Amino acid sequence: MKSLRRLAIVLTAGLSGLALAPVAQAAPDPVLASPYLYQWGGRVDPVAVMNQTGVKAFTLAFVLSDGGCNPTWDGTRPLTGSDATLIRNIRAAGGEVVPSFGGWAGRKLGQFCSSASALADAYLKVIDAYQLTAIDIDIEAAEFENNTTQDRVLGALKIVKERKPAVRNVITMPTAKSGPNTWGRRLITRAKELGAPVDVWAVMPFNFGGPSDLVAGTKSSVDGLKNHIKATFGLSDDEAYRRSGLSSMNGITDTKETVTTAQFRAIRDWATEKHLSRFTFWATNRDRGNCGGSSDSCSGTNQGTYDFTKLVAGYTG
């Protein structure tokens, strides 16, 4: 999964030897190591972040409904405009993006599109607008806890994969410490039943309800995910881990848990040991410390600027 630099061997006429000419490095894998980035608070310049941390990809949050089955950024901004410029700037700097559909709040396309085919068209509209290689479906709240919308999302992803087989997809969902809850297990099981090819399943191992050891909680929740993937699809432990991933949260979480940089490093090392296919966190906008408590622009902990993003940048799967 590491990016490879290819070398082109050019035979130079009239010379006795071979000249080696480097070819541009392959585009980064946006699924593997791409911290979330949002545009509604604590805004940062992604190119400056790339230069300071070495990170090569971002997960852009969130694509939502405009009130119908039409995708917009945060439910208000069209696909053209500032967000398109943001993507162009990241790519011009050698990076890549994976837009994320959904999130906790706002109008979800899975609810406002009336069918799997209509939802697939909405996903494809974004894919085509930016010539994407991957998308993230952050399925939460009412879109997650509903049989109809779960099936609609899976049906849409099946259609997208049929039309765009090279585009990888990630489903990101809430979790308990023991792994996916009843809704999460249903989602995985229904993917098998419906023949919906999900490339990577990722859990969000935080907001468990209060302060706790989130290194241990992350491991147990991802292990629970791996075990259900293994049982559902008949995979080995190694194969199931390689279909799994995680999205943590830096610093102080919504329920007052804490993930320090040292803890996040331990989580990264464990993810490397298991060869998880996705390692990320919410969010680079908050990846700053010593700034008077947690917010959209601060982790609420003692850390250096972009410490968490640097750890993601070093993840190779």
Which residues have a catalytic role annotated? 140
For 58-107, give the DSSP string. Answer: EEEEEEEESSSS-EEETTTB-SSSHHHHHHHHHHHTT-EEEEEEE-SSS-
Residue 168 forms beta bridges with which residues?
134
Tokens representing residue 81 in the block: 């405009």
- Sequence-separated (6 or more) residues with CB below 8 Å from residue 203: 172, 173, 174, 175, 179, 180, 184, 221, 222, 225, 244, 245, 246, 247
Cβ pair 173, 154 in contact under 8 A = no
- Omega before 62 cis (within 30°)? yes
Measure the CA angle with vertex 64, ends 245 and 214; round to 5°. 30
The residue among 140, 133, 118, 250 whose CA lies nearest residue 199 is 133
Count of helices and strands (H, E) across the chain = 11, 13
Q: Please report, for residues 87, 193, 217, 306, the alpha-carbon distance to residue 91 in angstroms, rounded to integers and kept in the order given.
A: 6, 37, 35, 20
